[in-house]
Structure 1
Amino acid sequence: MMTQKSSSTTSVARLLEGSRVYLRPIHVEDTELYYNTLFDQDVRRMTGTQRSFTKDQIGRYIESKGQDTSSLLLLIALQEDDRIIGDIALQDMDSLNRSANIRIAINEQENQGKGYGTEALVLMLDHGFGICNLHRIELNVYDFNERAIRCYEKIGFQREGAQRDALFYNHQYHDSILMSMLSSEYRVRYVEKAEN
């Protein structure tokens, strides 16, 4: 599971800092840590992960992310003890349309429902809208993931529709709900509020 403390964490740059979590780059040295999360049954279900991967495949994936200018994959760590509790990514960044997709995974139930994911999402949204100059950030969430849907709505994501029967998992079809946030909505909710 991805709640291990990395010995290299203290020497790794913290890209984005919150009060309870920080986001740091992922490195090839994190391959084992990242690989282990892919076998957590709850994480697999919530993310709709159906394939299995080898450590070599994960290592190559992490390496390729370092070269990919259209995505930013970061690990989520706790400020109090540097434990890695998940990951978050801006993906498919399109500079012409100023849009991207965001995804997040908080591993292990003991780390869920505590606001860590909310804080990590707001940090990444701030980076996406304020540094990457994005106008629209979207996400997909499966209809059975009610906790995540509530979190996204609380942050300010708007439902746009559903992709019916988009996921076949454990003998059942599930809808994928499309949600998005625009830079103007983020600005009103977070930037202007902080300025006043």
Structure 2
Amino acid sequence: MMTQQTSSSEPVARLLEGSRVYLRPVNVEDTELYYNTLFDQDVRRLTGTQRSFTKDQIARYIEAKGQDASSLLLLIALREGDRVIGDIALQDMDSLNRSANIRIAINEQGNQGKGYGTEALVLMLGYGFGICNLHRIELNVFDFNERAIRCYEKVGFQREGVQRDALFYNHEYHDSILMSMLDHEYRDRYVKKAES
């Protein structure tokens, strides 16, 4: 399970902050924390994760992400208690086409369905459209992940299409739904609303 309590004497770098969650950089010290989430059965199913990883592979992945200008990987933590409950990433950022992919995972069922993921998504979308000057942010979600689909639609993502039988998991094929949001849709929903 991906939970971590930060000592009150250690300052936590908060890149983006909402009312209940904040997003912070992931570093090599988070290797154990990140590694443990990869063996949570619910997280593996919802994300379609089939491979296994060693702690060394995770440490190298985290280190590489820190040096990759085309992606931003952040941990999602609760403001109350500084407990890490998931992660979110902007990936494959393309400055020519001003596009990227976003992914999110909220770990442990007790943290799901409480609006934490919605808040984290809105924070990261604001960063992507505002700071990174993106025009389009897309995601893929598996058809059985109805809670995530509702969350994405609530945030403002629109369905674009279906990749049929894109995932073979636990002896069954599943469709992957492609969804996206454009910068003007984000501004209309969040920026103009905040200005009025």
User: How far did 1:10 drift?
Assistant: 4.0
Structure 2: state its 5+ residue gaps. Answer: none
Alignment of 1:1-196 (within 5 A): 1-7=1-7, 10-196=10-196
The one-letter code matched in structure 2 to 1:136 is R
Give CA-to-partner distance per residue, 1:44-96, whole Å, 9 cap, x none. Answer: 00000000000000000000011000000000000000000000000000000
- What TM-score results when the alignment is normalised by the length of structure 2? 0.98
Whether the 8 Å contact between 1:9 and 1:82 is mirrored in structure 2 is: no
Counterparts of 2:103 and 2:86, CA distance in 1: 11
Between the aligned partners of 1:148 and 1:85, the Cα distance in structure 2 is 16
CA distance in 2, matches of 1:87, 1:8: 21
Identity of aligned residues (%): 87
Distance 1:156 1:9, change over 3 A: farther
TM-score by length of structure 1 reads 0.98
Deviation at 1:9, TM superposition (A): 8.9
**Partner amino acid for 2:69?**
T
Structure 1 residue 6: deviation in Å? 3.4
Equivalent residue of 1:101, what SS? Answer: strand
Q: Distance in 2 between matches of 1:100 and 1:9?
A: 36
Report the residue type matching 1:122 in the other structure. V
In the TM superposition, residue 8 of structure 1 has moved relative to its aligned partner by 8.2
